[in-house]
Amino acid sequence: MSKTKSWMTGAIIGGLLGSALVLLYTPAKGSELKNKLQDAAQKFREEVRLAGEEKRAELEAELNSLRSGE
């Protein structure tokens, strides 16, 4: 993995963790906080799923390139 991708991955994970901490330390009703955490978790799962799909497509393209001898 290149340094740029590593840095971007770290920045995204750090941003998500920071967002979660802000939600935890923000005064709100229990139900509001629960909804916010559920929304944040859903967004995180979606981002991970999309990143996985992108990486899979990238690896499949690279595999096809290697198989064809390019």
- Show me where the domains of the chain are located: 3-68
Nearest to 24 by CA among 45, 49, 43, 16: 16
Whole-structure pTM value: 0.53
Per-residue confidence of the chain (70 residues) as pLDDT tens digits? 577 788 888 888 888 888 888 877 877 777 887 888 899 889 989 999 999 999 999 999 999 999 998 6
